[in-house]
Chains A and B, each alone.
Chain A
């Protein structure tokens, strides 16, 4: 036929009837499948499974992405989708290189695949191929525009659009997008008299120059669907069923070796219950491109051993699964380690599956320093260390006993009070100095009393009155706007980030802009007035007065929760009380989970979900079973924080050594070994003084008070010590405010700065006392090691230490030099 088909300004139904193949597109745009793809040497497939088991295609645009999985004798599963050969004919469909199956003719047949001597037949039924297809804006056009990238944030989805054409970001507002396509400039972008002359086809197909590139060609399904919609009269069918969920398959796939691949499929479920394969339109992203990459066809390529979350997105719905790249683990043998509690059972279950061998149990000294720093923010004293090491009882008995002792101890209370003071933004700039002290004291009493976490949060959210007399009321003194109070509360107490929704639907989660304002409405009737003191403020509610308006519609947003749970919400009462009940209910799936994840990350160094305040479908936990078990345990214990801390700290997992083995040295997320964490600013400051036996002098506090007891961040230390080591300014509740990073300025301060120099040089320091007390250099070395590194020196360290002391100008300066060297060693600067 060639180019014989000439231009005619005719809306011909020719193209509706022409049963032309649409599949050429998949092969042209698909990235070439690596010809070298093969199974690992020695892997033998004993059967093949197909997903779906049968294919039914109901119209000319329907398709299925086929998944073929090979199963080995010992049950391992591996993707053979592209490796299996098509055996025999199935004239009803075509199969692309990535095994996307599209119809070519009505009828029934069978697709047979063969691999490694195994065969599988997939029955195929095609209907409606020649029937006219009524393209829907919501169901067909919106997904195509998303997949082509038209509504991406860098293109027409940008706030100002591009080149005068603006779409809603990632297509969250079909009505707006429809108006942009059909109504702007009196219908500039479509042409129902000559559909193929529509600008919305000419631009993305490159016929008219398009800076966004050539995104489709005539004959491809995307192009033809848009054309059919134009020819059908560019209707807006907002009543068309919407996608209610998507399903990503396979679940948690394992890829044996780097370089190998895994095909993914995405199945959407619509409001009317219909299901549709959307693998070609859905977006897949890998959370960690260094572990696994995913291309536009949903094909994952393993890069190196590790785990990555694969997030699928389609029409405002999200699903995620974790892909594990196993790597070469030949020689790995699982040895069942002893377990202390359910935490270990669930951690080891994952380690066994991913062929990781846990480290040994940490030694007593290692454990002692770790638990002291984690629970009290202070290193243990030498006398404590000696007593613990010398305690002849079984290690579990004394360790559990120690955990019990430390939980609830005064130092524990100060340490965790400081943590909550960060999160509640105890800051005199917002609260006045008196108010800051008052709130900190209230938190301290709550921690000391082990107030159940749900009650703690409920109290904070509902407190009214003078912030001096009822300090938790200060929460809403800091957060003065309904939207700020809502954003802060959801991020802090639920680990859900709603802030994106202020301007548009959330780009990575199902939350919508409407939900943002409906939820903020719960804080719309909170008011503030001056208290008796000029520095005070009174928080109160005015039921019935005060509303939030949706920024885009300008309409009042009635209070409504973004998701429901079976927990009881008071029907009357002020809005804040309803919000607090909703947040703190044990049935709220985010409330307990976000807190246990937070505590877990503080104690283990990395959250089951990271960042810890970003819980969403696309950010799955590294160990979902463990997160659930911890949440359930916490809820069952009545939100008992000390119970949770005890459970974690007495697990064997918490007590793993930091020393890795060949099977876990590359693991950073499965808790197979302890991870080194730089001491937080206050802990480091206090530890320096504790180790050197000196008394800190903090502005505004009596001598001897610790950095962890500071009321807020508004203190300046010589050299900006606390700021430099990341003490949060307390201007938001984001965990990201506290920096645990390592920067050059820190090293310079440690080497050369006043805090350490003064502590070491103090005439009354422990170093001076020990030097006077112990005339034997080797004994002096031992005492300094105990005081600073909380462990005994090795023989070699003892010798080297003695030499260092002797190399000093005098014994004291030699001991100070050694102390300086030890403080500057990672063994002191890190919790490990």
Chain B
């Protein structure tokens, strides 16, 4: 139920305050100095106060004092002090009320560094606790985007990820709250996989093509790992993890596990069949944005906004090495993408410096301070930062896409072994956030800021087709 509750929170919050007729926030609080209303609602009366004054510091991402104030349920949990935030019916024993109440003319303890709550707000909190601290938050009823009510678009959303099915028949593209399955030649939208996460950041078909993994979430609220059955279009697994979107989903070569990068700076992996978390590594200093398994699945490689490429031993969940140099100054900007050579333990990485680089995973000599021993090859930089790179099926080439300060973009195909530029993809204009190499090697797909998918010849770069991935409507949809 927790999953559903979060979902409804997201959705319903979206409409609060859109009450044009009154010109005031929809939440009604008692008039200054007036008596608290007869029946105080958590949803209508209490939640807006918490939202305005408390949640910045007491949220899942930042539970200061071990206290979370984003749901009524959380209020009943024990914080660092060992006490629950609220004791139903007993405001004087409820820290929530005590902390915001001014003791004998002294300023109240909370909110720290801000003006005290208005007397009416304190009265509302007190009254709600007195009346039994009832949670009247709405549930799933509020949701109206789902498989039977797919999103409606007037403008195409930014595309964050693309992936071809192993048989080169399908191209999965991210939408808003959904994944769109197109025929690989762009001729037809064959399915829409509507899910909970607003944003899908990463897509990966399983090695056998039967499953499609997606990592994403709703920014600032939750991360979600989705596993879809491609044939039946069924959601096999929805796993909510962390308080923010997840990134960089990748499959173990045997198709039993997936890894993701998280906004809490962790690298995690899950057993696909059970959904159980099987790996947790917290060595990164910033968000983990992409992952890939080694050829034998013994290790995981992760890249992060902390600029490092880390090697993790899967069996022990241990961070074992920094693959690139970590000498201060050697790392420039965050890293956004990693892909492994299909047959070798070598990876291509890309990020803020725009330079694609190939590294071997395992060092054969002890680390010397300042060395960059694992570096095999650097390629001509692309303007801006690289968001995505993918090898072709035999690893002889890779496609890479970049955005230059969000105003323009470029995508190229490089020869892996000699560093030669094979081609620039024709027709690129806006920032490129996603690229994919069709497994049959004939075409590459790219997409990004503009919300367009481009299909180019992989050898010449010639533009073959360009299409909007989502169905657009021109109808003006009035509010229900």
Contact = CB atoms under 8 A, between A and B. Distances in A.
Interface of A: 1-14, 18, 20-21, 23-24, 28, 164, 175-176, 178-179, 182-183, 185-189, 191-194, 196-197, 199, 202-203, 205-214, 217-219, 231, 233, 236
13 contacts: A5-B18, A5-B479, A7-B12, A7-B145, A8-B144, A12-B478, A12-B479, A14-B479, A178-B407, A191-B176, A210-B55, A231-B155, A236-B406
Contacts of A206: 51-52, 55-56
B369 interface: no
The 5 A-B residue pairs whose C-beta atoms are closest, nearest first, are A183-B406, A209-B59, A218-B17, A187-B158, A11-B154
Given A186-B387, A214-B52, A6 B144 contact: yes
Given A8-B479, A9-B177, A197-B14, A188 B21 contact: no
B13 A186 contact: no
B116 interface: no
Interface stretch (B23-31, B101-109, B183-191): B23-31
A193 B480 contact: no
Contacts of B449: 182-183, 187
B198 A197 contact: yes
Interface in B32-62: 51-53, 55-62
Contacts of B478: 12, 14
A747 B156 CA distance: 75
Contacts of B55: 206, 209-210
A678 B186 CA distance: 84
Contact of B155 (A18, A193, A219): A193
A211 B62 contact: yes
Given A3-B15, A7-B14, A18-B20, A208 B406 contact: no
B19 A7 contact: no
A492 B60 CA distance: 52
Contacts of B144: 6-8
Interface of B: 11-21, 23-26, 51-53, 55-62, 70, 114, 142, 144-145, 151-158, 160, 175-177, 198-199, 201, 219-221, 245, 247, 286-287, 289, 305, 387, 403, 405-407, 431, 433-434, 448-449, 470, 476-480
Contacts of B245: 185, 188
B56 A207 contact: no
Given A5-B480, A199-B220, A183 B431 contact: yes
Contact of A1 (B20, B59, B61, B220): B20
Given A187-B449, A211-B62, A236 B153 contact: no
B479 A212 contact: no
B70 to A, nearest CB: 6
Given A183-B403, A213-B56, A208 B15 contact: no
A629 to B, nearest CB: 47
Nearest to B15: A7
Contact of A211 (B14, B56, B145): B56
Contacts of A8: 144, 152, 477, 479-480
B477 A12 contact: yes
Given A176-B405, A212-B56, 12 more contacts: A1-B20, A2-B26, A3-B16, A7-B14, A9-B151, A183-B405, A192-B155, A193-B155, A206-B55, A209-B60, A214-B56, A219-B23
A217 B478 CA distance: 22
Contacts of A182: 406, 449
Contacts of A231: 155
A231 B155 CA distance: 9
B82 to A, nearest CB: 24
Contacts of A187: 158, 160, 433, 449
A207 B18 CA distance: 13
A257 B164 CA distance: 75
A380 B199 CA distance: 82
Given A5-B480, A199-B219, A209 B18 contact: no
Nearest to B305: A164
Contacts of A197: 14, 198
Contacts of A211: 56-57, 59, 62
B176 A175 contact: no
A6 B177 CA distance: 17
B23 A1 contact: no
Given A5-B19, A186-B160, A178 B479 contact: no
B406 A218 contact: no
A2 B221 contact: no
B14 A3 contact: no
Contacts of B51: 206-207, 209, 214
The binding surface of chain A is classed by DSSP as loop
A231 B19 CA distance: 19
B39 to A, nearest CB: 17
A12 B158 CA distance: 18
A18 B23 CA distance: 12
Contacts of A183: 403, 405-406, 431, 449
Contacts of A202: 13, 219-220
B472 to A, nearest CB: 10
A242 B72 CA distance: 48
B391 to A, nearest CB: 20
A28 B52 CA distance: 14
A9 B145 contact: yes
A192 B157 contact: yes
B287 A164 contact: yes
Contacts of B142: 6-7
Contacts of B25: 217-219
B381 to A, nearest CB: 13
Contacts of A207: 13-14, 16, 51
Given A2-B19, A7-B144, A11-B153, A179 B405 contact: yes
Contacts of A218: 16-18, 25
Given A14-B476, A178-B406, A182-B449, A193 B17 contact: no
Contact of B219 (A176, A188, A193, A214): A188
Contacts of A185: 201, 245, 247, 289
Nearest to B385: A183
A210 B56 contact: yes
Contacts of A236: 406-407
Contacts of A191: 157, 176, 198
A226 to B, nearest CB: 14
A621 B114 CA distance: 35
Contact of A208 (B176, B201, B221, B431): B221
A3 B26 contact: yes
Given A14-B478, A213-B56, A5 B15 contact: yes
Nearest to A192: B155
Given A10-B154, A217-B25, A219-B23, A186 B448 contact: yes
A187 B156 CA distance: 13
A217 B289 CA distance: 32
A93 to B, nearest CB: 15
A10 B20 contact: no
A210 B58 CA distance: 10
B20 A219 contact: yes
A18 B14 CA distance: 18
A3 to B, nearest CB: 6
A22 to B, nearest CB: 8
B406 A179 contact: yes
B399 to A, nearest CB: 17
Contacts of A196: 14, 18
A208 B55 CA distance: 8
A175 B151 contact: no
Contact of A175 (B15, B201, B405, B431): B405
Given A7-B142, A20-B23, A219-B20, A209 B56 contact: yes
Contacts of A175: 405, 407
Contact of B153 (A13, A193, A203, A210): A193
- Give the most central of B20, B60, B145, B470: most A CB within 10 Å: B20
A20 B20 contact: yes
A517 B192 CA distance: 54
Contacts of B476: 12-14
